[in-house]
């Protein structure tokens, strides 16, 4: 079946890493019977430069006409002086909201070949397989009121609102319980219920839903400060983590370091109707344009896209196997090389394509 992908490279290393994922899709088209086409559009700083809008109308139309969206990354110092709504990050938040992508799956799986890329002890991280399920379209990122205002005494203050409705908590918790049933059947819900009412209520709703519909799944609760510590102390205690937008943002970057590099973590953002796939990392301005970013998070995001949106779990398995084989061969981008020999971003993409071709 012919499928169409909206490709949004974005800024910084975005184009470099997305190009490598597209090479992988080309191999699948050529050798594995995938029938995918794609069309590129601008988002983030590129959208602002092209159309004065970080989520241009043409991009809005394209993403809704496609079977899935593949995104690189947005942001960079060039756009930092702009007002918040014009900044690249606003484009990313708007596409998530516009497409209703409330469930963000961020798997942190340790590859044993990369044990020495992590600063943590091998016995602590070997076998780690965590799925962070992050709420993506609500919480403090979207709560109203927000802003920077002047107080009567002339002092200024910045403020945001953290709020969660029952329906928003239930739908993300449901996704986490359902994911857990297909894995090790454990969910840890992470909150700050001891201080923040919005997450006190989060805990209450997760607990009630669990009792009503998912009592076969083992549920625990943890405060986010403890969770940040436990992720480093004993990450294997976690299977599925479900948490709020901001805590999920922070904890998934932390979890990525169990795998050796933030360049290893893919993600899928899913709603009722649309889905978008992107690495969890940003546009890495410090290495942009140097062909040294790790493209594996993006290639693995494309694998998630094949599995969840393009109805080709068989090809997702092949791509993941090709990545595994590439790592087995000792191929490393600089972030994974532990001071040893490394390949470029495109070198890593080529190596994965070669392994993929060998699986045909």
Ligand X SMILES: NC(=O)c1ccc[n+]([C@@H]2O[C@H](COP(=O)([O-])OP(=O)(O)OC[C@H]3O[C@@H](n4cnc5c(N)ncnc54)[C@H](O)[C@@H]3O)[C@@H](O)[C@H]2O)c1
Q: Can you tell me the distance from the alpha carbon of 320 to that of 91, in angstroms, rounded to the nearest whole number?
A: 30
Nearer to ligand IPM, 89 or 254 (CB): 89
Q: Is 285 annotated as a binding residue?
A: yes
Nearer to Mg ion, 53 or 249 (CB): 249
CB of 100 to ligand IPM, least distance (A): 16
- Say which of 35, 112, 216, 225 is annotated catalytic: 225
Nearer to Mg ion, 20 or 249 (CB): 249
> Is 192 considered catalytic here?
yes
| The binder of ligand X chosen from 5, 66, 284, 315 (CB under 6 A) | 284
> Is 225 considered catalytic here?
yes
Q: Is 76 annotated as a binding residue?
A: yes
**Residue 135 near Mg ion by CB under 5 A:** no
Nearest to 60 by CA among 87, 98, 10: 98
Q: Convert residues 84-113 into a mask of x (bound to ligand X by CB under 6 A) and - (unbound).
A: -----x--x---------------------
Residue 278 DSSP SS3:
coil
**Residue 287 near ligand X by CB under 6 A:** yes
Pairing of strands 129-135, 275-277: unpaired
With beta carbons less than 8 A apart as the criterion, state whether 269 and 97 touch: no
Q: Can you tell me the distance from the alpha carbon of 17 to that of 124, in angstroms, rounded to the nearest whole number?
A: 30
**Residue 9 near ligand X by CB under 6 A:** no
| The binder of ligand X chosen from 199, 252, 259, 283 (CB under 6 A) | 283
Nearer to ligand IPM, 135 or 355 (CB): 135
**Cα distance between the two ends of the chain:** 19
CB of 281 to ligand X, least distance (A): 3
Enumerate residues 244-263 that contact Mg ion by CB under 5 A: 249
> Is 253 considered catalytic here?
yes
Nearest to 261 by CA among 225, 292, 289, 230: 292
With beta carbons less than 8 A apart as the criterion, state whether 134 and 189 touch: no
Q: Which two tokens stand for residue 115?
A: 């044990």
Contact partner at residue 284 from Mg ion, ligand IPM, ligand X, none, CB < 5 to 8 Å by partner kind: ligand X
Q: Can you tell me the distance from the alpha carbon of 239 to that of 285, in angstroms, rounded to the nearest whole number?
A: 33
With beta carbons less than 8 A apart as the criterion, state whether 118 and 125 touch: yes
Residue 184 backbone dihedrals phi, psi, to 5 degrees: -95, 10
Q: Can you tell me the distance from the alpha carbon of 135 to that of 104, in angstroms, rounded to the nearest whole number?
A: 6
Residue 339 DSSP SS3:
coil
Q: Is 83 annotated as a binding residue?
A: yes
Nearer to ligand IPM, 93 or 303 (CB): 93
Q: How would DSSP label each residue in 194-206?
A: TT-HHHHHHHHHH
> Is 249 considered catalytic here?
yes
Residue 151 backbone dihedrals phi, psi, to 5 degrees: -85, 160
Q: Which two tokens stand for residue 348?
A: 């890593």
Q: Is 107 annotated as a binding residue?
A: no
| The binder of ligand X chosen from 281, 307, 312, 332 (CB under 6 A) | 281
CB of 43 to ligand IPM, least distance (A): 11
Q: DSSP class of residue 33?
A: -
Q: Is 255 annotated as a binding residue?
A: no
| Binding-site residue set for Mg(2+) | 225, 249, 253
| Binding-site residue set for NAD(+) | 76-89, 282-294
| Binding-site residue set for substrate | 96, 106, 134, 225
Note the residues at the interface with ligand X (CB under 6 A): 17, 73-76, 89, 92, 262-263, 278, 281-287, 293-294, 297, 335
Which residues are catalytically annotated? 141, 192, 225, 249, 253
């Amino acid at each position: 079946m012919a499928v169409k992908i909206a490709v949004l490279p974005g800024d910084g290393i975005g184009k470099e890493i997305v190009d490598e994922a597209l090479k992988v899709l080309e191999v699948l088209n050529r050798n594995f019977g995938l029938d995918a086409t794609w069309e590129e559009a601008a988002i983030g700083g590129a959208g602002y430069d092209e159309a004065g809008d970080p989520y241009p109308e043409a991009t809005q139309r394209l993403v809704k006409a496609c079977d899935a969206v593949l995104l690189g990354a947005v942001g960079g110092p060039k756009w930092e002086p702009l007002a918040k709504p014009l900044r690249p990050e606003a484009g990313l938040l708007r596409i998530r909201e516009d497409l209703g992508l409330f469930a963000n799956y961020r798997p942190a799986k340790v590859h044993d070949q990369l044990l020495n890329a992590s600063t943590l002890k091998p016995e602590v991280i070997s076998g780690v397989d965590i799925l962070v399920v992050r709420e993506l379209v609500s919480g403090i990122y979207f709560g109203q009121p927000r802003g920077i205002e002047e107080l009567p005494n002339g002092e200024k203050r910045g403020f945001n609102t953290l709020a969660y409705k029952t329906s928003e908590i239930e739908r993300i918790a449901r996704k986490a319980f359902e994911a857990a049933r297909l894995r090790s059947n454990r969910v840890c819900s992470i909150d700050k219920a001891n201080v923040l009412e919005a997450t006190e209520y989060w805990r209450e709703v997760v607990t009630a839903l669990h009792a009503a519909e998912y009592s076969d799944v083992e549920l625990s609760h943890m405060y986010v400060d403890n969770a940040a510590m436990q992720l480093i102390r004993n990450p294997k205690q976690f299977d599925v983590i479900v948490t709020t937008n901001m805590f999920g943002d922070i904890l998934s970057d932390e979890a990525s370091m169990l795998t050796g590099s933030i360049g290893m973590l893919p993600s899928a953002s899913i709603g009722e109707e649309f889905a978008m796939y992107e690495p969890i990392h940003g546009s890495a301005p410090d290495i942009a344009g140097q062909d040294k970013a790790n493209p594996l998070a993006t290639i693995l995001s494309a694998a998630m896209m094949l599995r969840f949106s393009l109805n080709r779990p068989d090809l997702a398995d092949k791509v993941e196997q090709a990545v595994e084989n590439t790592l087995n061969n000792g191929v490393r981008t600089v972030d994974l090389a532990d001071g040893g020999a490394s390949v470029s971003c495109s070198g890593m993409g080529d190596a994965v394509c070669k392994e993929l071709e060998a699986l045909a």
